[in-house]
């Protein structure tokens, strides 16, 4: 968010993730671990790798390159792949084969990303938990559940805890659904980045630095647009920002509910959004993030958000404890000592020469929610309530994910 806001990261108290429910399973035998490794190496299309209950202690990354493989555990609290003693590899599990289904297991304490699925089509991640059990820490892996450069992706009923970047992240992908999942104690709870046609619904995002993020970053092969964020509970995302210095998420203010940055056609509706101490919704451009690349920015990159539609949400609380002297001063100056910043915070940047047909930056049909224009183009000198966003945009179409490829029983 804005340089003003990036400098206003709230130093909120750090809590610990909720304890995993139920008793921990017993350690798996060395033979069971060896069997798992052998199955992954020998996997071929149509195989189902069943992993019984137990804690599987692993010291190196796992990888799967064969397409058409299912990995099935006994439950996200019963089958646990533990990388606490990992000495080699960049991920917990790296998957580069399409038509991939994984369900009912956990990946804990990987050195880097927990579950990375890279460059494939047809992915189902169902009832998978990724967690760093020591709580929020910059040394934790960056991403929990991490499909990237993928197509036709379903993430359902999963849990992500403790990632130093994003708990559930989908990047440079197309046709994505994230539903029925929980993200907690990550820097970004759920992040959709440079992705086209995504639905994020029926999730819980709480105790993150930012709850749900929809970003476009420069210098990537594709730009994102058309994301719907609806029927989620996004509350109390006030954990201090523990992202690595220089990363994009390191500029996200603690206390952010939904954050839109440089993305287009984002519909935010029918959510319960509450008690996010900086703002319940933040809309910003690349110019105010404080995040710059060494390579500069490609001339084709569109830095302005456009077509952001906020309607029919239930906002409660939030904006009451921004966490820095500057934002507290702004809050007190504009809204009084016991007041709060409005539900929607906009950095004020808009394309000065928009092409014909470009939608407005922001339309809000969400009374009594108000919009604060932070006046970014004038170096944030004159923030003021905005009265120019009372407009409507056509509803976005649903993201469609085809799961019929997984309906045929695997051998």
Burial class (CB in 10 A: 0-12, 13-18, 19+), 74: middle
The length of the chain in residues reads: 411
- Global pTM reads 0.93
What does the buried/exposed string (b/e) look like for 84-97 if buried means 16 or more CB atoms within 10 Å of the residue's CB? eebeebebbbbbeb
Q: Confirm whether 236 is domain-assigned.
A: yes
Same domain as 9, residue 63? no
Same domain as 156, residue 31? no
Nearest to 341 by CA among 350, 352, 353, 332: 332
Same domain as 364, residue 261? yes
What pLDDT is attached to residue 21? 54
Same domain as 392, residue 333? yes
Same domain as 320, residue 186? yes
Residue 284 · residue 2 · CB < 8 Å: yes
- 33: how many CB neighbours lie within 10 A of its CB? 18
Range of the domain at 360: 3-17+135-406
pLDDT digits (tens, 9 = 90+) for 250-307: 889 899 999 999 999 999 999 999 999 999 999 999 988 877 666 678 888 999 999 9
Same domain as 87, residue 9? no
Same domain as 48, residue 12? no
- Structural domains of the chain, count: 2
Same domain as 65, residue 7? no
pLDDT digits (tens, 9 = 90+) for 346-370: 999 999 999 999 999 999 999 999 9
Kindly give the parts of the chain with pLDDT less than 70. Answer: 1-22, 292-295, 323-327, 408-411
Number of H helices, E strands in the chain: 3, 31
Q: Confirm whether 115 is domain-assigned.
A: no
Residue 301 · residue 286 · CB < 8 Å: yes
170 CB-side CA count, 13 A:
29
């Amino acid at each position: 968010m804005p340089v003003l806001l990036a400098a206003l990261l709230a130093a909120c108290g750090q809590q610990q993730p909720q304890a995993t429910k139920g008793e921990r399973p017993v350690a798996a035998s060395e033979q069971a671990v060896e069997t798992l490794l052998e199955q992954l190496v020998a996997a071929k299309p149509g195989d189902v790798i069943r992993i019984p209950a137990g804690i599987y202690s692993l010291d190196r990354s796992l990888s799967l390159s064969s397409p058409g493989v299912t990995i099935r555990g006994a439950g996200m609290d019963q089958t646990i792949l533990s990388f606490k003693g990992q000495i080699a590899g960049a991920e917990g599990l790296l998957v580069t084969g399409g038509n991939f289904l994984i369900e009912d297991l956990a990946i804990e304490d990987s050195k880097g990303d927990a579950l990375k699925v890279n460059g494939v089509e047809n992915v189902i991640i169902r009832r998978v938990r990724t967690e760093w059990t020591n709580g929020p820490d910059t040394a934790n892996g960056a991403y929990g559940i991490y499909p990237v450069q993928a197509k036709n992706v379903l993430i359902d009923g999963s849990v992500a805890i403790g990632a130093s970047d994003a708990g559930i992240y989908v990047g440079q992908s197309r046709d994505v659904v994230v539903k029925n999942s929980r993200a907690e104690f990550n820097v970004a709870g759920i992040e959709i980045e440079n992705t086209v046609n995504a639905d994020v619904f029926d999730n819980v995002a709480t105790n993150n630095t930012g709850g749900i993020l929809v970003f476009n970053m420069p210098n990537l092969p594709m730009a994102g647009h058309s994301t719907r964020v609806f029927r989620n509970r996004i509350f109390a995302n006030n954990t201090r920002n523990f992202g690595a210095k220089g990363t994009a998420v390191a500029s996200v203010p603690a206390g952010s509910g939904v954050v839109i940055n440089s993305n287009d056609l984002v519909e935010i509706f029918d959510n319960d959004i509450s008690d996010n101490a900086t703002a319940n919704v933040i809309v910003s451009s690349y110019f105010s993030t404080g995040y710059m690349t060494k390579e500069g920015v490609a001339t084709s990159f569109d830095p302005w958000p456009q077509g952001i539609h906020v309607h029919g949400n239930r906002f409660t609380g939030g904006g009451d404890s921004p966490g820095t002297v500057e934002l507290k001063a702004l809050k007190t100056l504009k809204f009084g000592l016991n007041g709060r910043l409005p539900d929607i915070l906009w950095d004020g940047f808009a394309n000065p020469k928009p092409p014909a047909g470009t939608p407005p930056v922001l339309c809000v049909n969400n009374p009594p929610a108000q919009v604060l224009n932070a006046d970014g183009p004038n170096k944030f000198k004159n923030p003021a309530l905005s009265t120019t966003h009372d407009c409507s945009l056509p509803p976005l179409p649903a993201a469609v994910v085809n799961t019929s490829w997984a309906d045929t029983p695997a051998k």
